[in-house]
A and B are shown apart, each in its own frame.
Chain A
Amino acid sequence: MAGFEFYGEGPPGVDLEELTGKLIVLEGTDGVGRSTQIALLKPWLENHGHAVLVTGMTRSALAGDGIKRAKEGHTLSGSTMSLFYATDFADRLENEMIPALRAGFVVLTDRYIYTLMARSIVRGADPDWIRKVYAFALRPHVIYYLRTQIEHLIPRVLHSTGFDFWESGADLRLGETMYDSFVEYQTRLLKQFDAMTEPFNFEVIDASKSIEQVFEDLQARITRHLE
């Protein structure tokens, strides 16, 4: 099994030799079905004898609450938000993912640095800057990019939570209504994800298919990967 490496220089005090687990990332825009797939994958992997850690954005013990509160206000600028999320990510990387990988877990993460970078770039961050900020991240073993067209996303979002302020990029004032804003914002995010597919070696999954079909596709790929 291939070992771990960092994109750049990792956090101080991490010995890569000690990491024996697997880091699997599910990426994709809002409403594409990542969390649904993770909810299915976790018990399936456990049934096959793997210890699994699931983690996702803004769930860090350190910064999770702070970010949620900051988003309730209207003073969160692009660079501040980028760095707040980077703090959250670093906390989860060092205190959740790395310890689990050290213990030989399969770490299943709902989004990774790619979403964070895409959001930052759409909000005007310098792409080179944000890539360097995240140079301390572990390179995952595999990144599944759940991809679908914007037309498929809209009904899914309407069925679940409706158009959320931040998921619509409403802070960017991209359109007259939340709907216009959502379409424009998600289109821009999709463009960023597509641009990252090659340089970051994403495996593209057609997420316009049914939940069952996507699950089967993922199962087959992960099985091959874990062999």
Chain B
Amino acid sequence: MKMYGEHKFPGRLFIVEGIDGSGKSTQLTLLHKWLDSEGYTVFFSEWNSSLLVKDTTQRGKKKRMLTPMTFSLIHATDFADRTDHAIIPPLKAGAIALADRYIYTAFARDVARGVNPQWVRGLYSFAVKPTLAFYFRVPLETAMKRIVGGRDSLKFYEAGMDLGLSDDIEESFKLFQGRIIAEYEKMVDEFGLIVIDATQSIKQQQAQMRNLVTQALRGAKKMPVRRWLDLSSTVKGRRA
């Protein structure tokens, strides 16, 4: 296992962080489209998406079997798998890797659950340091309003219901996300997160991102992708 730290790969890694409803995924999607149109090869991955670990995580969540410790470890397992399959290969190939949530999500959530901050930082020491890490700062109330569907869309662990902060899921969500914001704020200086004021218009935020990303892309190679032909129309009927 390698401890990557500041990576020496030819690619670039841009990541977004923030609480649910901060608008970070919207911003990353817009960045992705723009990078595509500029002729870069982009590889996107998101938190908690490794197929290898997915069943275990889902089962743990559904049956509410997770403790703060196993919650932390199963997400680290997921992240290790994605580092090997979705982060390192594109970076080595000189492409751009985008990640919706990164190690800072774990640091914020796990510590908000009472896990030791040094332990969880050590756990993720194999991670690649992002080229740029954007943190979308938003007041809790604003984020709450943006979460479509209201209380029915709140999930058990996202609301920190496992901590017994409140029997009311909306109240628990507020308390738990408040703790998470406090952890993010501590990390701004610790990890040099770039703060984006997420109360601005979508366009303003995107302009700030693109400006910083443009600077970070100096010397990065463009690799126009030859698009696949639509095989379904050309080989139709040839399959047995």
Contact = CB atoms under 8 A, between A and B. Distances in A.
A13 B119 CA distance: 16
Contacts of A82: 1, 80
B77 A8 contact: no
A49 interface: no
B70 A12 contact: no
B66 to A, nearest CB: 7
- A69, A73, A84, A126: which has the most chain B beta carbons within 10 Å? A84
B165 interface: no
A86 interface: yes
A76 B119 contact: no
B67 A126 contact: no
A77 B81 contact: yes
B80 A87 contact: no
Contacts of A66: 53, 55-56, 59
Interface residues of B, number: 33
Contacts of A12: 67-69, 113-115
A13 B114 contact: yes
Interface string A115-138: 000001001111001001101100
B65 interface: yes
B57 to A, nearest CB: 9
B76 A75 contact: no
B3 interface: yes
Interface residues of A, number: 38
Nearest to A136: B69
B55 A69 contact: yes
Contacts of A61: 65
B162 to A, nearest CB: 11
A80 B81 contact: yes
Given A77-B81, A84-B53, A135-B119, A11 B67 contact: yes
A129 B126 contact: yes
Contacts of B65: 61-62, 91, 95
23 contacts: A8-B119, A11-B68, A12-B113, A65-B55, A66-B53, A69-B55, A76-B81, A77-B84, A79-B80, A79-B83, A80-B80, A80-B84, A83-B77, A84-B53, A84-B77, A86-B73, A87-B77, A90-B70, A129-B1, A129-B125, A132-B122, A133-B122, A136-B119
